[in-house]
Amino acid sequence: MNKQKITLAVTGLNNTDNPGPGVPFIRGIKESEAFDARIIGLVYENLEPGIYMENLCDRIFQIPYPSSGSDELIERIENIHQQEQIDVLIPNLDAELFSFMKNEGRLRSRGIQTFLPNLKQFQEREKDKLPEFGKKYDIKVPGSINMSTLGQIKDLEDKYDYPVMIKGQFYDAYVAHNEEQAKQAFHTIASKWGFPVIAQEFVKGTEVNVIALGDGKGNTIAAVPMRKQYITDKGKAWGGITLADEKMMELTRSIISKTKWKGGMELELIKTNGGEYYLIEINPRVPAWVYLAVGAGQNIPEALVKLALGMDVQAMTKYKIGKMFVRYSYDAIVDLEKFAAISMNKEI
C-alpha cells in the first residue's frame, strides 16, 4: 500500500518525569501503514528531550508559551507553516489547547487541520465543573467544593470525612488527612495554580484509566483501558497494563456518545471495592501512555490524524489484554551544536 505523504506538527516533546504525549504520539505515526510523515516538533523549552532523540523529528521549532498571548503563538505557527506546509497539527498539552481550539478556523483557513474538542466540550469537563458534568451525563463523580478562601476548609468536615483530595484547577493533587494538611495543600496549590482550589471527596479504590478517541459524532473510534502498575511521586504512570473491563468500555462509549466528544481523551476513574466507577477527571487529549494503545493494537495517533484529514476511520474494538508498558530513563549524549541551534535560532 502506498503511504500518504503528510507533514505533521506535534507538541509535547517533554519526555521528562512528567512526560508529554508528543514522543509516543510520533512513535505511533512512524508505525502507521497509512502515512509517511515528515515530523515537525514544536517545543517550548530548549531542553525538551524529544529535540535530541535520534530519528524522531525532521525539523524542530521553538514556539512561544500560550501565556504570552494566543496571537503570538498562532503567528509563530503560521510562520513555520510558510516554511514547512503543515498538513496536521496535534497539540498535546493541556495549557495550549484553549489557544488552538479558539484558532481552529484560522489554522484551517491556512491549510492546517486539527481534531480537537470544541470549547463547550472542553469547558464542561473542567475539574471545578465535574459535579455538574456528572449530573448532566448521569455519571458517578466524587462530591466536590470549589474553594476560594481558606475559611471554607473549616466547613469541609461537615460535608466529607477526612481524607479529602485537595486539587488545583489544572494540575496537582494532595491527599489531606486533617484540617491542617488541607490548609497546607490549599496554600501550595493556590500559589501555583490560582483559584478555585478544589476539595474533592476521597473515593477509596483502584485508579484505572481509559485512553479513547471520539469522532465528534458520538462514535468511539478507539478505547483501551489500563491500570497503572508503577506510579511516580508525581502520580505519573511509569508502568501500566491493559485490562479486560467491559464496564469501563461501556462507560467510555456512553461518555463519548452523550458528549459527542471530538478528539483524543483520557478518562481517570476510581474503581471501588464494590465494583462502582467514579469519574475523577477527563483529560482533553491523549495521555503520555498513548503508545501502550498502539502496542495493544489500536494506533490512536494514526486514527486521530486520519480524522483530522477528514478520512473515514473504522472503529477499533479489539486490543490485546495484558499488554504492558514499562517506561525508562536514558541519557542521550548530544553535541553542543544542537543545543546552540535551538537556543539561538529557535529551530533545527
**Is 244 one of the binding residues for another protein (CB under 8 A)?**
yes
**Is 231 one of the binding residues for another protein (CB under 8 A)?**
no
Among the listed residues 48, 96, 215, 245, the single contact to another protein using CB under 8 A: 245
Q: Round to whole Å and give the CA distance between 108 and 106.
A: 5
Shortest separation between residue 15's beta carbon and another protein, angstroms: 24
Shortest separation between residue 280's beta carbon and another protein, angstroms: 17
Q: How many residues bind another protein (CB under 8 A)?
A: 12
**Is 229 one of the binding residues for another protein (CB under 8 A)?**
yes
Element (H, E) at 224: strand 220-231
Shortest separation between residue 220's beta carbon and another protein, angstroms: 20
Q: How many CB atoms lie within 10 A of CB 263?
A: 26
Burial class from Cβ neighbours inside 10 Å (0-12, 13-18, 19+) for residue 287 reads buried
**Main-chain dihedrals φ then ψ at residue 128, nearest 5 degrees:** -75, -5
Shortest separation between residue 236's beta carbon and another protein, angstroms: 17
**Is 227 one of the binding residues for another protein (CB under 8 A)?**
yes
Shortest separation between residue 243's beta carbon and another protein, angstroms: 5
Give the closest residue to 222 by CA, choosing from 266, 259, 192, 283: 266
Q: Which of residues 261-320 bind another protein (CB under 8 A)?
A: 271
Q: At what angle do helices 152-159 and 179-193 cross, to 10 degrees?
A: 130
Supply angle C-alpha 20, 24, 29, rounded to 5.
130
Q: Which of residues 163-182 bind another protein (CB under 8 A)?
A: none
Q: Round to whole Å and give the CA distance between 196 and 201.
A: 16
Q: Round to whole Å and give the CA distance between 113 and 173.
A: 34
Amino acid, single-letter form, for residue 261: W
Among the listed residues 208, 213, 290, 293, the single contact to another protein using CB under 8 A: 208
Q: Is the peptide bond before 66 cis (omega within 30 degrees of 0)?
A: no
Contact segment (CB under 8 A) with another protein among 3-11, 100-108, 240-248, 289-297 equals: 240-248
Q: Round to whole Å and give the CA distance between 91 and 112.
A: 12
Q: Which of residues 10-39 bind another protein (CB under 8 A)?
A: none
- Indicate if the alpha-carbon torsion angle 254, 258, 262, 265 is positive or negative: negative
Question: And the C-alpha cell for 303?
Answer: 486514527
Question: And the C-alpha cell for 290?
Answer: 498513548
Contact segment (CB under 8 A) with another protein among 107-115, 167-175, 223-231, 305-313 equals: 223-231
Q: What share of the chain is helix, strand, coil (3-state, %, to 5)?
A: 35, 25, 40
Among the listed residues 93, 173, 241, 309, the single contact to another protein using CB under 8 A: 241
- Nearest residue (CB) to another protein, 23 versus 223: 223
Contact segment (CB under 8 A) with another protein among 101-109, 128-136, 179-187, 225-233 equals: 225-233
Contact segment (CB under 8 A) with another protein among 102-110, 243-251, 279-287, 300-308 equals: 243-251
**Is 201 one of the binding residues for another protein (CB under 8 A)?**
no
Contact segment (CB under 8 A) with another protein among 69-77, 79-87, 242-250, 296-304 equals: 242-250
Do the beta carbons of residue 114 and residue 90 sit within 8 Å? yes
Contact segment (CB under 8 A) with another protein among 79-87, 93-101, 237-245, 339-347 equals: 237-245
- Nearest residue (CB) to another protein, 101 versus 210: 210
Contact segment (CB under 8 A) with another protein among 25-33, 160-168, 221-229, 299-307 equals: 221-229
Q: At what angle do helices 94-102 and 70-84 cross, to 10 degrees?
A: 80
In the complex, the residues that contact another protein under the rule CB under 8 A are 206, 208, 226-227, 229, 241, 243-245, 271, 321-322
